[in-house]
Amino acid sequence: MTMNFRTIRDSLIDLLGSQAAGRYRVIGYQEQNQDASEIVGTDRSVQVYYSRGEFPKSAASVTGPYRHNMTFRLDMFVSAQAEGDLSVIYDPNASPAAIAAALDLMKPAAEAAEDSFNEFFDVLYQVLMAADQVDLDLTPKIIRNRWVGSVEKDEPIPRGEYVVITGATEYTCITEEKVGGLEGTAGSIQDITLEVRNLDDTLDNDKAGVFVDP
């Protein structure tokens, strides 16, 4: 039996993917390093994964179903291209003048990346909170109380000739999880015979010992 949180995660990915319309890419949760050039402009990307869950004991019977309060995290990545190579900012051998020039190049790129990020969250929020997606169009309806309750944005980071901004938003909802029965396997029976032996290996029933006949 597949738990509902896995189905809901897959439905979130399907929803975001079907509504992307060239505005972003949906990666889903996986370990993947992206080059900044891959997420420039409308090639922004989002990763979706199950972040945490709670099973409040007070909200379920002993035998279930069990209430599952879920949080899915959506990691967002955007970048904008600068006029020159910004890696000089982290170059310990760069002159103050070179660093100052690189910072000047970073400002417009950082502003562009921020605008892109803000637009990106706007788009994702509209998709996730659309009235017709209150239950992710799942049949049977296994989701309730869906909500996008927070968003966070990190500081712009120079990477080569790009400025990258990352951030995340959280999608929370509730479902009921059921637990199916598990088939057991028959155990083996061993013949256990009590024998009492002396040090010279002669039998002595006044002393204790156990011999297991496999």
The full DSSP string for 100-118 is HHHHHHHHHHHHHHHHHHH
Quick one: CA torsion of 106, 111, 115, 118, rounded to 10 degrees?
90
Q: Band of the pLDDT at 161, cuts 50, 70, 90?
A: confident
Percent of the chain with pLDDT over 70: 79
Nearest to 120 by CA among 45, 69, 192: 45
Q: Do residues 67 and 178 make contact, with C-beta atoms less than 8 angstroms apart?
A: no
Nearest to 89 by CA among 193, 195, 160, 8: 160
Residue 36 DSSP SS3: helix
Q: Do residues 44 and 24 make contact, with C-beta atoms less than 8 angstroms apart?
A: yes
How many residues in total does the chain contain?
214
Q: Band of the pLDDT at 208, cuts 50, 70, 90?
A: low
Is pLDDT of 189 > 60? no
Residue predicted with more confidence, 88 or 166: 166
For residue 172, the model assigns a pLDDT of: 98
Residue with tokens 């006029």: 83
Is pLDDT of 79 > 70? yes
Q: Which CATH class is domain 4-189?
A: alpha beta
Q: What's the whole-number mean pLDDT along residues 136-151?
A: 94
Q: What's the whole-number mean pLDDT along residues 136-140?
A: 92
For residue 64, the model assigns a pLDDT of: 84
For 154, left (φ over 0), alpha (ψ -120 to 50), or beta? beta
Rounded to the nearest integer, the mean pLDDT of the chain is 85
For residue 31, the model assigns a pLDDT of: 42
Q: Band of the pLDDT at 40, cuts 50, 70, 90?
A: low
Residue predicted with more confidence, 186 or 47: 47
Q: Which residues pair with 76 in a beta bridge?
A: 46, 167
> Which stretches does DSSP call E strand in 55-183?
66-81, 144-153, 157-159, 162-177
**Burial status of residue 88 (CB atoms within 10 A of its CB: 0-12, 13-18, 19 or more):** middle
